[in-house]
Chain A
Amino acid sequence: MKIIIDKKEIIAENNKTILDIARENDIYIPSLCNHSKLSPYGACRLCIVEIKGRKGYFPSCSIFPEEGMNIKTDSPKLKRLRRNILELILLEHPNACLICGEKENCDEYKSTIRKVSEVTGCVLCPSNGTCELQEVVNALNLKSIRFPSLYRDSEIRKNDPFFDRNYNLCILCGRCVRVCHEIRGVSVLSFVYRGSKTTIGTVLDWNLHELGCQFCGACVDVCPTGALTEKSKKYEQSPDRKERTICGICSMGCELEVEIRNGRILSCYPRKDGPVNEGQACVRGRFALKEIVCHPKRIHYPLIRKKKKLEEVSWDEAIDFIAEKLKTYKGSQVACILSSQVSCEDSYVFQKFANNVLKTKNIGTIAANPDLERFSQKSDCELMSNFRIRDISKAKVIFLIDSNVSVSNPIIWIEILKAVSNGAKLVVIDSLRWPYSRQATICLQIKPGTESYLFALIAKLLLGEEQEENFPNTEYFNFYREFLSKIQMSEALEAIGIEEKEAKKTAEILNEDGLKYFIFGSGFTQYSWGISNLTSLWNLSLQTQARVIPLTFESNLKGVLQTSRPFSAMKKDFAEIYKIISDGKIKALYSNGPIPLYSKKSIEFIVVQDSFMNENLMVADAVLPASTFLETEGTFVNVEGRIQKFNKVIDPLGESRPDWWIVAQLGKRMRGKGFDYKKPSEIMAEIKRKIPEFKNVSYNQLKKGIEIFINHKETGEKREEKLTPLKLPPLLMDINEEYPFILLFEYNSDIYRGFVLNREIKGMKLIRNSRWIQINTEDAKKLELTDGESIVVESELRRFKGYVRISEVVPSGIVLASFLSNEEKDFSAAHMMFFSGLKTLPIKIKREC
């Protein structure tokens, strides 16, 4: 339709607001409460416009165009009104600096005066000039304020980690409240009280971390003033340069902007134009990244064990020492562990070295979903890359299974939430009840390990003859039908622990038309019954034409798996490597990730290539300092198969070097061929030649923002995968009087290589400590346990320590621990799990004495 804004004729879309349309056409309308990602709000009233033929003034942020609308965005009357409004807004905001006559002369000194905590003017404000209020004041050319100013004198909230809240600077635009509610689905912040006492707050002003805030930083990023500010940046000067890169901690691949001054990282922001994250991030990328890179535990120099102590040596000495030692072992005596958080280039060179030089077949990667790859191969289906994150928001039905998605894969959660607000039905299936499940249409809290029973039951409820054509093979269909006919409704319901009407309603939802997604997290596949779960879900997805999405944590798991294609070495998962090492066949270990060792066993020589010191390195004979992803360049492949280029943001710390460089040096020293790389682009050129999936990759194109995916299979394509025969797993071992609880574990998604974010970073420890053992409120009451108490979890054979966390996540009778492959032996739930063959265990809890 055609509308006229300021005498300019514009073709407008009817789903955009007048304000958006004006901005697209470079017409400036001042506004404070509006945000492009949030719903229209109309609180600040600064964006008022005149519409010809209508009486009054209209907020352009919340009206939509109509045919022939004639809009005026500027007139003397509008100017006066806007100034009046702004004066009233500034009444409660420290405004002396905003209207100061010496404003221009002061700019130079602003960033040096800022050494106070109480902010009474822009010179003292930590937002350091990135302030939308300043912009609007300048645009409206406001020179004086007629009213006496009013300082709220509200106490600054400093008790939370990562950011402070100073409500003396707040203009009540409501952006933080809306972003928390609409985009992140947490609703921790809310408007409280009313009238002149209105403020943004929480229940009785409790701290955010007590209310389940995960500190994604979205509220800080949308705040137009300095009311919400990052703690660590408060007293920093302005950055001298900004670089863009990709966050390499989890599999989302958020695009970040990193602010740097004098080679130091000041802050990391999610980029609004990031193709995956669109201005969102999570606590890891937004706040923790800066702390990770320059953490005191970073290793700066190569270390070699001399006389039982690790000593700093030069690169030459370290490489010589390691090459000399590694030469003495046969291929079958060496095991290699590859981190799934290194770049494709690093992973390729590492595997080339292991395969061609060390000649070993024992290469393992660390993945939360080991069964996935195995299942994909067996049933010949492309489970790993058959979706686009963007498409999730178009879904009509989403099944979310065994995943703490809002923490582990935050961007996926944002997309799910978008779908839900568009009317999609969300079914959460989990034995745990995560806080996000309040957004669900139905929440099925099943007994642990009964997922396959549930899916078989739903399949039985839905099965009709017409579904036969969904199956590629009639024989399978008959087999499947027979299998389902044997399932007894009442028995299955009893086993799963849900009611009949819940099962029927779930089936009903699944029977609806539209795009359907089954999204599952690590909890679905990490136990010994993972394969049965996968099979039953896969069968159900064929039957109902739903798409299956597995969620992975590690930033480059897909890239690591893809780059292993040219090599004959067997890919092993962590549990297998653990087993091989326990068997005592391995004499030497070379790892660039965590090492699964609690004692050295038969291993004589251990080389660890990592960026961080941790307890496990203490058994290493040589330690090579690797750079983090911010100090080098390369590519990651994210969860949807998107190939992303990350850039060098700062120089490597100390003597640390990129992984590919270190391995290439070792390769050259051990007379391997083809290790003369000078930069990562040369490695990528080789990968492009060897692996067809990468043939379209070009650094230049990636830099320009051209989207390249590893697998060009379109979503919605007819699948030809086979139905897989299903066996239901045995039900869980019964608990008994002595061991009254069942232990479940959650894969810890807060790791970067050998560094455990939620153990080393103070703020993250406060919101999700890796050593928490989560216990239901009632159970804790019975055992008289209090939050934070030190306890011991004991199974028949093993034990580990941890701290009590009373939580609503776990149902009564279940205890949840975090699973970490490189935890200290005393605290390691993983150790107990591996030992039990990844089954859940009956356990008891004791107070530590």
Chain B
Amino acid sequence: MNVRAACCVVAAIVSLAACQREKRDFEAPTKAVTPPPVRLSEIQPGAISTKTSLEGKYEDNAFALSEGKRLFGWYNCTGCHAHGGGDKGPALMDRVWIYGSEPAQIYATIVEGRPNGMPSFGGHIPDNEVWELVAYVRSLSGLASGMASPNRSDTMHVKAPESNVEAQQPVTAAPSGASERP
């Protein structure tokens, strides 16, 4: 009896979680989503605000994550970051973050660009697509919902699917010279 009750509770939780997972927004938001302040320092005056962003807007949503995966190839992120393993650009599937792992920080990285080679895509990519890319980039190191992360590729599989990645505790690394990076 206890097992059955537990099953019911689990099923209820899973079905609640699944609501967000399959939601599809074909209509883009009419106005741009303003990114929250990008915090690169943990020191803040007054009360510490840790919630930085629109976390959860796309990270629990399977469609947005798979769109992010498609755009990651279409917009040639793979040209430098490969499929997450890194090449000219740093690896994205490890726990090391140079400019921060929070969604707002990744948003800023994409939109504003970063020194040492990351181009600035602001204005070239619609706002909601940047957020889809942010969610997908986070899923590469397991920071997005494992239930919603893509579990297959449309093309040849070059690595384990994002849904299988263990969540990795982000650590911040000082930017090193581009030549030292793998």
A pairs with B: no
B-contacting residues of A (Cβ < 8 Å)?
Answer: none
A-contacting residues of B (Cβ < 8 Å)?
Answer: none
